[in-house]
Structure 1
Amino acid sequence: MKRRDVIKISAAAAAGLYLKPWTAHANYLFNNTQKVFEPNWDSLSKYQVPEWFRDAKFGMWAHWGPQCEPESGDWYARGMYQEGSWQYDYHVKKYGHPSKFGFKDVINVWKADKWNPQELVDLYKNAGAKYFMAMANHHDNLDLWDSTYQPNWNSVKMGPKKDIIAGWEQAARKAGLPFALSVHAAHAWSWYEPSQRADQNGPLAGVPYDGNLTAEDGAGTWWEGLDPQELYAQNHPLSEGSLDNGKIHSQWNWGNGVTPPSKEYCEKFYNRTIDLIDKFNPDLLYFDDTALPLWPVSNVGLEIAAYMYNKSLDKKGNPQAVITGKILDEEQRKALVWDIEKGQSNEIEPLPWQTDTCIGSWHYDQGIYRDKLYKSAKQVIHSLIDVVSKNGNLMLNIPVKGDGSIDELERAIVEEIGLWMRLNGESIYGTRPWKIFGEGPQQATAAELSHQGFNEGKGKPYSSSDFRFVTKGDRLYATVMSWPENGKVLINALRSDSPYLSKSIKKVKLVSTGKKLKFKQNAEGLEVYFPQVKPSVSYANALEIKY
């Protein structure tokens, strides 16, 4: 989950394009249901985003797996093999040298003994989440369910010895929430390459890390009979520039010198993902990939998308499933929901989209907790309002500790988000963009969107002169992004001669209290007078406006 640049696929990689035949899964599906979608971009571009997703607006995510066990931030299973990095130093101190105690061994000590999925999902639902997402696997390549095609390296076989995804799904279904899954494992091939290294300095210089181990090395160990290569997937030459720890970002699109994945690797990823879809019927599938997994060196991502869309067709032949992808071109945005990581668009997008973000690190980081560096509920709510005004949804990760719990600071933030949503949720759920997304000085300072995102929080703070608009039925909602200390606001876009209005405004109500507010509309704008008493949370104040 870091910045990745768009890179054209190299000729060598393109030459290795794997056009995999349909498996028994797909043949069974297409022989028994209507075949609407084919595994190509032209066919997938017929996709229409279902209304449930457009109405939901706000989801919450448990980006939780074995990399949370050390509680030392994101990409731990890569950083622990990077000599001299803070995660390497932490790992050596806590667990031992990565030639002797690798990430496979971190998995072994991960027990998740305080995990209560129902309590967490209910907490998120009470906070206003309308869908819930769990992480099915990460770049660390451990499947978090009883995986048919990763039969040894999964959370049922080792570590917690629990079907994590089954537990999350049961909790989400009981709470009545659409269930989403995030899949990240396509990049284990190159992401784990540091595990092939050895120290350059010190007493163990030259001793290979455990990413080089095979099944034959396991005699007398806890993992005897298992093959570490099924986890690390490192039976291949290193990519060009592999010793440059930042090189992976420019190779994320399977170009710029990355070693092309084998046909067997691509097929295994396909089978694992189809197995996941068949067992849990997710309403949404999030891919942490440029476009689709393994694209463009393999078409398995296209096959997975076609399979899932066809499987989810309703009686009218409309798909009810959602699949997200990153760094999409215009055609791909018709086929998938564009996901922007830690950022948002600066305009109303013509098609529904989603931003994914977190209040801390993607994986739990005890340092963020210790130093109280979490995003505040106010920051989350401001992002949500802005995203929704531009035709987007917000997916929020609350980092989960290794033991399966969240800390008290996180819980307080979640509860405060819930308080605001209970007071103002009608201005969020089921809304659609208005003619403009808003007005005010903050937008002029907003950062441009990079290829992947990462422009959140870079503008000036919102003020009572910043407004965001959405509509629902005959109602317009204008959210004042801060409480006006002078007791009034002036909204220029709603002036009497506004090109956006065809009728005079008849009523203004403060959504959080239901109180009708005094106002006047003239050539300067709509002037609204706020009450003296603030609601319990007042950093964003939705107004319901009727013509």
Structure 2
Amino acid sequence: MMVFKLLLFAVLCVASLASYTPDWSSLDARPIPSWYEDAKFGIFIHWGVFSVPSYGSEHFWYLWKHKHDPRYVEFMKKNYPPNFQYQDFAPMFKAELWDPVKWATLFKKSGAKYIAFTSKHHEGWTNWPSKYSWNWNSVDLGPHRDIVGELAEAIRKNTDIHFGLYYSLLDFFHPLYLEDHDENNCTTQNYVNEVMIPQLQEIIDGYHPELIWSDGDWTANDTYWNSKQFLTWLYNDSPVKDTVVVNDRWGIGSKCAHGGYYTCRNLHDPSYQAHKWENYYPMQGHVWGYDRNMSIDDYATAQTLVSILVQTVSCNGNLLLNVGPTHDGRITPIFEERLLQIGSWLEINGEAIYGSRPWTHQNDTTTSSLWYTVSGDGKNVYAILVEWPKDGAVILGAFKGTSKPHSVKMLGYDGSISYTVQSEGLHITLPVLLPDTELQWAWSLKISM
């Protein structure tokens, strides 16, 4: 409590001298750091005690013990003794096969430029040795390892990926959280002052994440969470003040309105937004943690994922693609395959994605399977086909009335591309590609004006 009071006093005292003040008009004016604008593709990683039952949802504890969802109640009755508690899963979360360098290598091959790793989910378990989560963290129990610290080191030593952390503001079963919400209707902030803010300080001072993916904000307004005061410190005085980027989940009404980039809803349908946004997308159904009950049909195909990436980037978003590791620390082969497939596509087509910006058009009136980006310097437009036209030709109506381009090329293809300017737009005849070509899932036409 005293630590946070001192922090809050310091923030308020220097606010008039600092770049940002604890109000949304000031905080919302902070530009998104350029690294995030350029990155375009990141990986979300949900891993915690919920990975042990690995059944249904990462909200397993809440659905079982609070909602008494029949599916979860029956699962526990069939598979565990009557006196079994959720806390009994923690010693089983051993991470005995976890190799953070192997993860880092896979993420690098995927083409991802940043990650958001679960430091703490709604169950309160911390994947670092938090002083404010005694005997409910990855060093005191389970792996007996500082997972956040080891992963941060592996990422930074072996890749150029930006290291970020997911953090749940709420803690469904923490006594102080329950006291604040159930008895006082958020008139006290004991949980915020004694647990949440100190933990956020721990991960920022200890691990220097360049991204904070806040969540669990929906039970109270930003005043309860002290969000504006925290962000003021983060932007003005924290060790990552110049590079950190945050999302928009800082209290009721803040999502898609305040903070950094927007995360309006799950499975966001891409459409252009002037404000930077992120499409956070689960690779397996609607589940974020690993679910042993999934079948092959529940996993998105490489075709689908590449298409979502292209559409998202065209519309001013970043794609944050989720993987759920097993409790022992493995990223299963199907997750691994999908990440490698995206990486192989980006190795050829990354020029049309990384560092790009939305063009004056996002898609085209002549076909729903084509999306545009433009290079950062504005000299090259990329028309990305997510479906190959049956007749081997495409008309780019967005170029109607323009002069003939200087050149048209297909990324990854060395041959020439035939094109003409016609009344309805730019007419391009696509090459005949061999079946074993590496060009697949989506095809990028580079149009130099």
Same fold (TM over 0.5): yes
Cα pair distance change 1:263/1:329, threshold 3 Å: closer
Please state how far the C-alpha of 1:26 moved relative to its aligned partner.
7.2
SS at match of 2:409: strand
Does residue 1:276 correspond to 2:203, yes or no?
yes
Question: Which residue among 284, 291, 307 is the counterpart of 2:233?
Answer: 307
Match of 1:381 in 2: 306
Cα pair distance change 1:328/1:102, threshold 3 Å: closer
Please state how far the C-alpha of 1:264 moved relative to its aligned partner.
0.8
Q: Which letter maps to 1:524?
A: E
Please say if residues 270 and 301 of structure 1, whose CA atoms lie closer than 8 Å, have aligned partners that are also in contact.
no
Does residue 1:156 correspond to 2:139, yes or no?
yes
CA distance in 2, matches of 1:514, 1:29: 60
Superposition pairs of residues 429-508 of structure 1, within 5 angstroms: 429-440=354-365, 465-472=368-375, 473=377, 474-495=379-400, 497=401, 501=402, 503-508=403-408
**Structure 1 segments unaligned to the other structure (5+ residues):** 1-17, 193-228, 240-257, 442-463
Q: Which letter maps to 2:372?
A: F
CA distance in 2, matches of 1:112, 1:505: 55
Cα pair distance change 1:278/1:294, threshold 3 Å: farther
Q: Deviations over 1:141-160 (max 9, x none)?
A: 11110112223321111122
Q: Deviations over 1:287-345 (max 9, x none)?
A: 11458x9533415222221222123689xxx8321010249979974642111343335
CA distance in 1, matches of 2:441, 2:255: 38
**Structure 2 segments unaligned to the other structure (5+ residues):** none
Question: Which residue among 352, 376, 388 is the counterpart of 1:427?
Answer: 352
SS at match of 1:171: helix
Identity of counterpart residues, as a percentage? Answer: 24
Q: Which letter maps to 2:89?
A: V
Question: Which residue among 414, 420, 438 is the counterpart of 1:536?
Answer: 438
Q: Which letter maps to 1:91?
A: M
Please state how far the C-alpha of 1:396 moved relative to its aligned partner.
0.7
SS at match of 1:338: coil
Match of 2:75 in 1: 90
CA distance in 2, matches of 1:44, 1:106: 40
CA distance in 1, matches of 2:28, 2:9: 20
Please say if residues 15 and 22 of structure 2, whose CA atoms lie closer than 8 Å, have aligned partners that are also in contact.
no
Please say if residues 118 and 166 of structure 2, whose CA atoms lie closer than 8 Å, have aligned partners that are also in contact.
yes
Aligned residues: 437
Superposition pairs of residues 157-176 of structure 1, within 5 angstroms: 157-174=140-157, 175-176=159-160
Match of 1:364 in 2: 290
Match of 1:115 in 2: 98
Please state how far the C-alpha of 1:514 moved relative to its aligned partner.
4.0
Cα pair distance change 1:30/1:65, threshold 3 Å: farther
Does residue 1:287 correspond to 2:214, yes or no?
yes
Please say if residues 248 and 259 of structure 2, whose CA atoms lie closer than 8 Å, have aligned partners that are also in contact.
no
SS at match of 2:360: strand
SS at match of 2:76: helix
Question: Which residue among 310, 315, 324 is the counterpart of 2:247?
Answer: 324
Please say if residues 248 and 255 of structure 2, whose CA atoms lie closer than 8 Å, have aligned partners that are also in contact.
no
Please say if residues 440 and 467 of structure 1, whose CA atoms lie closer than 8 Å, have aligned partners that are also in contact.
no
Cα pair distance change 1:149/1:376, threshold 3 Å: same
- Name the stretch that deviates more: 344-353 or 485-494: 344-353
CA distance in 2, matches of 1:440, 1:128: 31
Cα pair distance change 1:21/1:401, threshold 3 Å: closer
Superposition pairs of residues 40-79 of structure 1, within 5 angstroms: 40-74=23-57, 75-79=59-63
Q: Deviations over 1:172-196 (max 9, x none)?
A: 1111211110011x2324xx4xxxx
Cα pair distance change 1:350/1:22, threshold 3 Å: farther
SS at match of 1:421: helix
CA distance in 1, matches of 2:335, 2:22: 41
Q: Which letter maps to 1:530?
A: L
SS at match of 1:434: coil
Q: Which letter maps to 1:300?
A: N
Please say if residues 29 and 311 of structure 1, whose CA atoms lie closer than 8 Å, have aligned partners that are also in contact.
no
Please state how far the C-alpha of 1:47 moved relative to its aligned partner.
0.5
CA distance in 2, matches of 1:328, 1:518: 54
Please say if residues 180 and 190 of structure 2, whose CA atoms lie closer than 8 Å, have aligned partners that are also in contact.
no
Match of 2:164 in 1: 180
Please state how far the C-alpha of 1:262 moved relative to its aligned partner.
3.6
Q: Deviations over 1:94-120 (max 9, x none)?
A: 2233xx222111112211111111111
Q: Deviations over 1:201-245 (max 9, x none)?
A: xxxxxxxxxxxxxxxxxxxxxxxxxxxx55x95457859xxxxxx
Q: Deviations over 1:257-296 (max 9, x none)?
A: x9437421111211111111111111000011458x9533
- Name the stretch that deviates more: 141-150 or 388-397: 141-150
CA RMSD of aligned residues (A): 3.0
Q: Taking structure 1 as the reference length, what is the TM-score of the superposition?
A: 0.74
Match of 2:22 in 1: 39
Does residue 1:515 correspond to 2:440, yes or no?
no
Please say if residues 63 and 398 of structure 1, whose CA atoms lie closer than 8 Å, have aligned partners that are also in contact.
yes
Please say if residues 38 and 44 of structure 1, whose CA atoms lie closer than 8 Å, have aligned partners that are also in contact.
yes
CA distance in 2, matches of 1:161, 1:352: 38
Please state how far the C-alpha of 1:128 moved relative to its aligned partner.
0.5
- Name the stretch that deviates more: 524-533 or 339-348: 339-348
Q: Which letter maps to 1:323?
A: V
SS at match of 2:359: strand
Cα pair distance change 1:270/1:335, threshold 3 Å: same
Please state how far the C-alpha of 1:411 moved relative to its aligned partner.
1.5
Please say if residues 342 and 357 of structure 1, whose CA atoms lie closer than 8 Å, have aligned partners that are also in contact.
yes
Q: Which letter maps to 1:529?
A: T
Q: Taking structure 2 as the reference length, what is the TM-score of the superposition?
A: 0.89
CA distance in 1, matches of 2:321, 2:389: 28
Please say if residues 128 and 137 of structure 2, whose CA atoms lie closer than 8 Å, have aligned partners that are also in contact.
yes
CA distance in 1, matches of 2:9, 2:129: 21
Q: Which letter maps to 1:521?
A: V
Q: Deviations over 1:496-517 (max 9, x none)?
A: x1xxx4x431211111224331
SS at match of 1:420: helix
Please state how far the C-alpha of 1:490 moved relative to its aligned partner.
1.2
Cα pair distance change 1:118/1:480, threshold 3 Å: same
SS at match of 2:117: strand
